[in-house]
Amino acid sequence: MTAVTIKPGAMALADWAKIWRGAEIRIDAAAKADVDAAAATVDRLIASGRAVYGLNTGFGKLAQTRIADDELASLQERLVLSHAAGIGDPLDARIVRLIMALKLASLGRGASGIRWTTIEAMQAMLDADVLPVIPSQGSVGASGDLAPLAHMSAALIGAGDVTVRGERMPACEGLARAGLEPVRLGPKEGLALLNGTQTSTALALAGLFEVEAGFQAALVSGALSVDAAKGSVAPFDPRIHTLRGHPGQIDVAAALRTLLGGSGILKSHEGCEKIQDPYCLRCQPQVMGAVLDLLRQAGAVLEREANAVTDNPLIFTDTDEAVSGGNFHAEPVAFAADQIAMAACEIGSICERRIALLTDPAVSGLPAFLTPNPGINSGFMIAHVTAAALVSENKQKAYPASVDSIPTSANQEDHVSMATHGAFRLLKMAENLHVVVGVELLCGAQGTDFHDGLVSSPLLEAAKALLRETVPAYGDDRYFADDIVSARDLVTGRGLVAAAGALPGIA
Do 105 and 6 touch, CB atoms closer than 8 A?
A: yes
Residue 119 CB coordination number (10 Å):
19
Which residues is 57 bridged to in the sheet? Answer: 66
Do 440 and 222 touch, CB atoms closer than 8 A?
A: yes
DSSP states of 16-45 as a string? HHHHHTT--EEE-GGGHHHHHHHHHHHHHH
Element containing residue 348 per DSSP (H, E)? helix 331-359
Residue 402 vs residues 31, 39, 338, 393: alpha-carbon distances, Å? 34, 35, 7, 19
Element containing residue 135 per DSSP (H, E)? strand 135-137
Cβ-proximal residues to 347 (8 Å cutoff; 6+ apart), any chain = 211, 214, 215, 218, 288, 291, 433, 437
- 131 SS3 class: strand
- Active-site entry in 53, 279, 474, 479: 53
Q: How far apart are CA 217 and CA 24, in angstroms?
A: 27
Q: How far apart are CA 44 and CA 35, in angstroms?
A: 15
DSSP states of 89-120 as a string? EEPPHHHHHHHHHHHHHHHTTS-S---HHHHH
CA within 13 Å, CB half, 97:
26
Q: Where are the beta strands (DSSP E) in 292-371?
A: 314-316, 321-323
Which CB contacts under 8 angstroms, 24+ apart, belong to 71-79? 72/46, 72/186, 72/187, 73/184, 73/185, 73/186, 73/187, 75/190, 76/185, 76/186, 76/187, 76/188, 76/189, 76/190, 76/191, 77/157, 77/185, 77/190, 79/150, 79/190, 79/191, 79/194
Do 74 and 1 touch, CB atoms closer than 8 A?
A: no
Q: How far apart are CA 312 and CA 60, in angstroms?
A: 11
Q: Evaluate the CA torsion angle 31, 32, 35, 38 in order and state its sign.
A: negative
Give Dmax over CA atoms of the chain in angstroms: 87
Annotated catalytic residue 479: no
Active site residues: 53
